[in-house]
Structure 1
Amino acid sequence: MATVSSSTSIAASAALSTTTSGTKTTTSVDWDALIEAQAAAKAEAATTIQTSITANEAKISAYQSLQTLLSTLATDTASLSKSIVNSLSSSAYGARAATISSTGDVNASSAVSMAISNGAATGDHTLTVTQIATAHKVIGTSVADKTADMNLTGTFSIGLEGGTSADISITSSMSLEDIVDAINAQAETTNVQASIIQISSSQYAMILTASEDNADISTSVVSGDDVLNTLGVTESSGAFTDVLQTSQPAIFSVDGISLTRDTNDITDVLSGITFSLLQSTPTGSTVNISIDVDTSSIQTVLEQFVTSYNAVRDYVTTQQTLTSDGTADSSSVLFGDGTMRNIMTQMEQALNSIIGGLSMSDLGLSFSETNDLVLDTSTLATTLTDDFDAVIALLATKTTASSSALTVVNTNSSPPSSFAMDIAVDSSGALSVSVGGDSSLFAVSGNTIVGAAGTAYSGMAFTYTGSSSASITVTSTSGIAAQINAIASAASNGSTGSLQDLITSLQSQDDRMQQQIDDINARAAVYRAMLVTQYAKYQSAISSANSTLDYLSALLNASSD
């Protein structure tokens, strides 16, 4: 026996109406209302499913917000996680600051400027500058009009001694300006620049300047007029007529060691440090340079970490909001979520790590009354000064090898705590590396050993300088920032992260439920079409019956009359 829902019964009742005229009662049916009511009843299940989709979409949005916050946290802890300090490292501990002072009659900043690379060696140095490098510069005689035709036809070669030269062709219609332009068109090849100096309102002269210090300009006639001689740049012998500046090298000393360079930008004396020599220092005067760890940079990065950690924690807290009756607030769509709770628990445990006898309190980190992380910068500054290496160990991943022949070049944020690297050296000196008998975990190129992608050793790199086979124990500790970086990175990963797994699962559920809705609506549409056809037949039958009734009534009335 078919059942009819109460909503359908009510709608059906509402669709029926009766009218009485004399002895005749007529019943009419609102078929459209009846059809819509029955079709809606068929589609009613889709509304319930849509509610589930909407709830899932709210969860997806919440997971994505948490994913973004954790990704920021991973970014802000990356440099704190790296203990390896060198010129290529992005470790926060490689930041350097320079202090320049002087002894004697010299202004230090007027004599030298500096640029320091990440990971430059710390220490104190003294610098004296005997002479700065200069470029060769010559001038010709003046002409009255720089735009007038020079009426010269010839070709000359120009360049720097020992360098590449180029031929410059001059025609009779070219002015001094045109000749300068022709020389400069080849400047990238010749490293000689030309310019015009206005001596007075009717005196213009061409200047040739070498683009490199300590290198002489060289010229020669190729054919035709001796153009440069006519312009007064050279004498008939080919020597320059008027030398404004001779070329010379930079002569200076660092820590008492005399040095000579062809440029004032010195990059190859102290690793990671570039000197720009600006002027010579008087006899008896020195520039004093002190390279130290830039602790202010470390403080800035640690403050960023505190901010991004609190952003995650505060977001998680909002997802635990209760109403006044003790139930989850409607905005807390991730209330009681196990994955979110597990992420926070792991990070809280990381913050409670004690490494080398230090804890987060030694860095000036503590929790406020609202459980937000706060930083006492004075405590941090004291610890950085007292035991810088211990701070690195407390925050970063630190990897060491049991043999000095194996140098750690790089490590990742969560390496294995300990493993034995078996290094085999064949008769030709070629290396092969295995761990536990597995040779696929590291790739070898020369004496460089790199962890294979997709393994626990990915991101690790070593150099081996030994000449014989060895089994070397590699141990690692992961500090607070390294642990949190690994947790946040793993959770926020857009491909394999735990939050992405949940998002993908919910999206798949929504796709399936949307298909169910589409199927229900499709069946409801078919059902509605069937009702339209069926009820049209009913209406036709009713209309026919009413016509018959009207006819019979008319006959009866006629008989009565």
Structure 2
Amino acid sequence: MTTVSSTSSTTAASTGYSALSSTSSGTGIDYSALIEAKVQARLVKADRIDSKITTNEAKVTAYSDLQELLQTVNSSIDGLRNRSTSTGASSNLFGQRAAYIGDDDVFSATVEDGTDTGTYSVTVQQLATKHKIGADAVSSKTDALGQSGSFTLQAADGTAVTISMDSDDSLTDLRDAINEQKSTSGVTASIVQVGDSSYQLILTATNTGNAITLTDGGDGVLSGLGLTDDDGAVKNELVAVQNAIVDIDGVTITRSSNTIEDAIEGVTLNLYTASPDTAVSMEVSTDLSSIKSAITDFVDAYNAYREFVTQQQATTSSGTKSDDATLFADSLLRQITQSVSSMINTTITTDDGDVLSLATLGITFDSSNNLELDEDTLNSVLSSDIDSVQQLLGLNMTSSSSQMSLLRYDASQSSLSFTLDIDVASDGTLNSASVDGDSSLFTVKGNRIVGNEGTAYEGIVLVYSGTSGSVDIDFSQGLADRLYGAISDAADEYDSDLTTAIDDLETQDTTLQSRSDTIRTNAETYRTTLTAYYARLEAAAEQAALLLKQLTYSDDDSDS
């Protein structure tokens, strides 16, 4: 009787998935294809979720790009809003000052922000000098001078120091001894080689306008060195000490330094050359170059933003959205572009009835709604009517009292006019502030007057240091200030519509990714389960086939 081994009965179960292909299967059934089809059916949902994540990620990238472009626009106009740092700006270009000088070879000037503007006539009659005296020349700077004793020296703005000498001290030793105490005395020593074998000690006052004083200690050292004559007077005065003399609008100013900080409030003069016969005109004015630069940067930043918006609205030749138009028909983008467009088309009407707009600055729109700048027009309005530029662009407050100042303005109104009736106690404490008899509109806190929540004055904080009375106040919010607020609402880094949208998408992606990961994990578990199940079926089929073959052999043996 023929015997057939049954060791192959466990082949499918032991080899698992690899034994389930149509070529390996004993039954000829492609179990692997069946398994893959069933697993892929379950992965379809994960694929759809992954596609949604990819779409969201592209949208986050586009929103982030838009946010960055808008923030660049705001950076360019921040200084044009005519706000101080206390009212929310990083700088106020309308408060920055520059000195325009007819002949800047004679002197230059730096001006503090907020300095009163004006024109001055400046004549530099005389420069301040550093007092400089010399000793008698000697043949060597390293040989002993043969002087023994002491002397004191000081500049007028220094303190007297004592210099002691031994007979073997050289000129170099003397120089070093003087310089060790120069920060105290205000006198510096140096050695100048005046000939092939001729060296001279030079004493120089550290600061201009301060005379050097020398006093011998009784041993005749100073006269021995040739610093003083026999009468104790300076023997070799190389540069006489003198103060700077400047005429400003006919008033003579004398200072010990060529840097004069206290003649014109907020202005520092740096004198270079004495020109007693030349009156130089100096105009202290708004720093127009900084304002022009900011306006130019704004045009560039806005056009970069517009290019992005145009790209997001692009369509193909067949009318469908372009592949690059990630935010095509996006409601948030549409909302932002409408808000920005509204703000940038702001017009301001002056008290004289003139209408100010971007065109006032030489800025117009081209056929693609990008901005074009005419520099000639901009230069002209900056030099001739800076007040109109400030009124068009910035936040402007006028008050009938010089004692009223603005601390904060976050009000929703672009223009506001009202009269504050203020009651001040005898000790200067503010009691109340009201409008038309209504004291509920403002809260008084120390010397601050704060607009109450829910009123038209919410977001306004004023500071008042005057007496009881009525103060007329007017606010007008210019184009740059309004645009900055609209963009901040849309694109601020921490609290804005775009930040919220990005956060929401990223949170959604986190949830979706978790769901996708779970589906894929479960699908792989399902694959393992199916593989084991079909492996058992294959093993059973192999066992049945083996049994049938054994039965066939048995029947053949019986017939024989």
C-alpha displacement of 1:509: 0.7
252-261 vs 234-243, which moves further: 234-243
**Counterpart amino acid of residue 302 in structure 1:** I
Distance in 2 of aligned mates of 1:165 and 1:39: 97
**Counterpart amino acid of residue 195 in structure 1:** S
Distance in 1 of aligned mates of 2:547 and 2:163: 116
Matched, 1:217 2:244: no
Q: Measured at CA, do residues 354 and 439 of structure 1 come closer, stay the same or move farther in structure 2, by a change above 3 Å?
A: closer
Matched, 1:555 2:554: yes
C-alpha displacement of 1:323: 2.1
C-alpha displacement of 1:182: 5.0
Q: Measured at CA, do residues 421 and 207 of structure 1 come closer, stay the same or move farther in structure 2, by a change above 3 Å?
A: farther
Distance in 2 of aligned mates of 1:410 and 1:263: 41
Deviations 1:157-209 (A, max 9, x none): 65433534566677888754455445445444443332221112222222222
**SS of equivalent residue, structure 1 residue 207:** strand
Alignment of 1:397-546 (within 5 A): 397-408=395-406, 417-418=415-416, 425-431=424-430, 464-466=464-466, 468-470=467-469, 472-546=471-545
Deviations 1:197-222 (A, max 9, x none): 11122222222222211122345679
488-497 vs 240-249, which moves further: 240-249
Distance in 2 of aligned mates of 1:385 and 1:307: 22
**SS of equivalent residue, structure 1 residue 477:** strand
Report what 2:279 is aligned to. Answer: 286
Deviations 1:295-353 (A, max 9, x none): 55543332222221122122111111122332222221111222222222222222332
Report what 1:358 is aligned to. Answer: 355
TM-score, normalised to structure 2, is 0.80
**SS of equivalent residue, structure 1 residue 92:** coil
Distance in 1 of aligned mates of 2:130 and 2:266: 26
Distance in 2 of aligned mates of 1:449 and 1:115: 36
**SS of equivalent residue, structure 1 residue 379:** helix
Matched, 1:92 2:93: yes
C-alpha displacement of 1:515: 1.1
Query: Is the CA contact 1:133–1:247 (under 8 Å) kept in the aligned structure 2?
Result: yes
Query: Is the CA contact 2:395–2:475 (under 8 Å) kept in the aligned structure 1?
Result: yes
**Counterpart amino acid of residue 316 in structure 1:** V
Distance in 1 of aligned mates of 2:411 and 2:227: 65
Report what 1:244 is aligned to. Answer: 238
C-alpha displacement of 1:358: 1.6
Deviations 1:15-57 (A, max 9, x none): 66389xxxxx941455555544443433332211111111111
Matched, 1:258 2:252: yes
**SS of equivalent residue, structure 1 residue 329:** coil
**Counterpart amino acid of residue 252 in structure 2:** S
- Number of equivalenced pairs: 529
Matched, 1:305 2:302: no
Query: Is the CA contact 2:107–2:272 (under 8 Å) kept in the aligned structure 1?
Result: yes
Q: Measured at CA, do residues 555 and 432 of structure 1 come closer, stay the same or move farther in structure 2, by a change above 3 Å?
A: farther
Distance in 1 of aligned mates of 2:431 and 2:202: 62
Q: Measured at CA, do residues 27 and 537 of structure 1 come closer, stay the same or move farther in structure 2, by a change above 3 Å?
A: closer
Alignment of 1:335-350 (within 5 A): 335-350=328-343
63-72 vs 203-212, which moves further: 203-212
337-346 vs 224-233, which moves further: 224-233
**Counterpart amino acid of residue 331 in structure 1:** D
Alignment of 1:161-200 (within 5 A): 161-164=156-159, 176-177=171-172, 179-200=174-195
Distance in 1 of aligned mates of 2:481 and 2:300: 17
**Counterpart amino acid of residue 140 in structure 2:** D
C-alpha displacement of 1:463: 5.5
Q: 1:141 aligns with which of 112, 130, 136?
A: 136
Distance in 1 of aligned mates of 2:290 and 2:54: 46
Q: Measured at CA, do residues 464 and 440 of structure 1 come closer, stay the same or move farther in structure 2, by a change above 3 Å?
A: closer
Report what 1:9 is aligned to. Answer: none
Query: Is the CA contact 1:89–1:118 (under 8 Å) kept in the aligned structure 2?
Result: no
Query: Is the CA contact 1:15–1:31 (under 8 Å) kept in the aligned structure 2?
Result: yes
Deviations 1:400-430 (A, max 9, x none): 2243432458867977743666755444334
Report what 1:267 is aligned to. Answer: 261
30-39 vs 203-212, which moves further: 30-39
TM-score, normalised to structure 1, is 0.80
Distance in 2 of aligned mates of 1:421 and 1:460: 13
Q: Measured at CA, do residues 470 and 178 of structure 1 come closer, stay the same or move farther in structure 2, by a change above 3 Å?
A: farther
Query: Is the CA contact 2:405–2:464 (under 8 Å) kept in the aligned structure 1?
Result: yes
C-alpha displacement of 1:153: 8.2
Q: Measured at CA, do residues 44 and 210 of structure 1 come closer, stay the same or move farther in structure 2, by a change above 3 Å?
A: same
Q: Measured at CA, do residues 450 and 67 of structure 1 come closer, stay the same or move farther in structure 2, by a change above 3 Å?
A: same
**SS of equivalent residue, structure 2 residue 137:** coil
Query: Is the CA contact 2:78–2:90 (under 8 Å) kept in the aligned structure 1?
Result: no
**SS of equivalent residue, structure 1 residue 321:** coil
Report what 1:22 is aligned to. Answer: none
Distance in 2 of aligned mates of 1:314 and 1:473: 45
Query: Is the CA contact 1:129–1:277 (under 8 Å) kept in the aligned structure 2?
Result: yes
**Counterpart amino acid of residue 366 in structure 2:** S
**SS of equivalent residue, structure 1 residue 545:** helix
Query: Is the CA contact 2:131–2:204 (under 8 Å) kept in the aligned structure 1?
Result: yes
**SS of equivalent residue, structure 2 residue 94:** helix
Distance in 1 of aligned mates of 2:330 and 2:269: 56
Query: Is the CA contact 2:155–2:213 (under 8 Å) kept in the aligned structure 1?
Result: yes
Q: Sequence identity, in percent?
A: 36
**Counterpart amino acid of residue 47 in structure 1:** D
368-377 vs 309-318, which moves further: 368-377
Distance in 1 of aligned mates of 2:54 and 2:260: 64
Report what 1:8 is aligned to. Answer: none
Query: Is the CA contact 2:157–2:186 (under 8 Å) kept in the aligned structure 1?
Result: no
Query: Is the CA contact 1:400–1:408 (under 8 Å) kept in the aligned structure 2?
Result: no
**Counterpart amino acid of residue 548 in structure 1:** L
Query: Is the CA contact 2:98–2:111 (under 8 Å) kept in the aligned structure 1?
Result: yes
Distance in 2 of aligned mates of 1:122 and 1:155: 55
Alignment of 1:45-124 (within 5 A): 45-82=45-82, 90-94=91-95, 98-101=99-102, 108-124=103-119
**SS of equivalent residue, structure 2 residue 71:** helix
Query: Is the CA contact 2:187–2:204 (under 8 Å) kept in the aligned structure 1?
Result: yes
Matched, 1:326 2:319: yes
Unaligned runs of 5+ in 1: 1-11, 20-24, 102-107
Report what 1:390 is aligned to. Answer: 388
Query: Is the CA contact 1:443–1:451 (under 8 Å) kept in the aligned structure 2?
Result: no
C-alpha displacement of 1:513: 0.8
Q: Measured at CA, do residues 89 and 180 of structure 1 come closer, stay the same or move farther in structure 2, by a change above 3 Å?
A: farther
